[in-house]
Amino acid sequence: MQDKPIKVLVVDDSALMRKLLPLVMERDPGIRVVGTAMDGIFALKKIRTLQPDVITLDILMPRMDGLATLQQIIEEFRTPVILVSSLTEEGAQLTLKALEMGAVDFITKPKGDLSTGLERIGGELIAKIRAVARATLRKPLSLSLPHPSLASKGSVRSLTSADRVVVIGISTGGPYALTTLLPALPIHFPAGLLIVQHMPEGFTTLFAERLDQICEIQVKEAEDGDLILPGRALIAPGNRHLQVKRMPLGIIAELSDDPDVNGHRPSADILFTSVASHFGPKAVGLIMTGMGSDGVEGMGKIRASGGTTLAQSEESCVIFGMPKGAIERGYVQKVLPLEELARSLQEICKEEE
């Protein structure tokens, strides 16, 4: 018996987007666009009657904007939402806020000719719809955390290169998960952290700045030559690979424009492989929520080098693809829910002192 098609509701104030997005999606026979809405007020009415499996949601709309609409969807329907974001700074800021609230993923509106641009990202959109169709929106995060001043962060951080490192590979659902994990790490966290979050250029800069505001550890977008320091998290820039390199002063971050790996740049596999060779048993690999298989083989290399390997549990992932692949291959030593990962990382890194 053939599976029922995935029902999608398109919410966008642009009449052209409401016309083009369904044309792109319905090239996949497993997807059926059951309706469109020009703003959040119409969208909420249609969700009640059409009961879609997935919603694509524009952020910038009149009357009821994307954030207000998303909040209502989370509270009333729990239907997975893929955001449709502009590449402007305002669009990126709002998108990151919506991802923290519980939206499961996003695509960016193409620049220039919309029809040509949507052709280019059509495969990505269809893959994301298929991946998130069974996902559930997370509850909005409560971020009432103390925000240490930049001065206090700087005064307690060691300038000695870290001799141990935690590397994280993460994709769909990542902004929510990292905004849960990283603020739970203490300012004196004894290891450096390196993170590959699949995200376009521009978004990683704003995401790192947002995380730095709510974390005790320092969080920044990685730059060439950054030292790997205890209590500092470096996030790979969108569209650039992140690796590590040993120098006289210690191990540093190195960025490259090498070709995509597993369809991704940055790639978790690139980072994990580099860290395995430079840190060996002092590496901790963590693979978290995300679709696809990026990072899976890199986790195997960390395990083979004597490092410690962890994965986020299925029930706490938006998409279990990346952790599942690593677990099935026997590369993961411990599987933990999202809320237990910070405590486990602290215990592991303390044991290694």
Q: Which domains does the chain have, with CATH numbers?
A: 6-132 (3.40.50.2300), 150-351 (3.40.50.180)
In the predicted model, what is the mean pLDDT of residues 138-152? 54
Task: Please report which residue ranges of 182-295 form alpha helices under DSSP H.
Answer: 203-214, 268-279
pTM of the model: 0.91
Residue type, 312: Q
Closest to 225 in 3D by CA, of 196, 249, 191, 200 = 249
Whether 85 is a known active-site residue: answer: no
What is the structure's pLDDT at 120? 78
Confidence at residue 157, expressed as pLDDT on a 0 to 100 scale:
57
pLDDT at 87: 75
Mean pLDDT of 67-72: 94
Asked if residue 144 has pLDDT above 60, the reply is: no
Catalytic residue among 12, 58, 171, 313: 171
Q: Which of 217, 186, 185, 159 is nearest to 286 (CA)?
A: 185
d(CA 72, CA 45): 11
Active site residue 198: yes
pLDDT, position 109: 84
Q: Given a cut of 90, is residue 142 above it in pLDDT? A: no
Catalytic site residue from 39, 85, 198, 226: 198
Neighbours of 293 (CB within 10 A): 17
Catalytic residue among 39, 264, 294, 313: 294
The answer to whether 294 is a known catalytic residue is yes
Report, in angstroms and rounded to the nearest whole number, the Rg of the chain calculated over CA atoms: 20
Give the β-pairing of 232-235 and 250-256: unpaired
Res 110: pLDDT = 80
**What's the pLDDT band for 61 if we cut at 50, 70, 90?**
confident
At 1 the pLDDT is 38
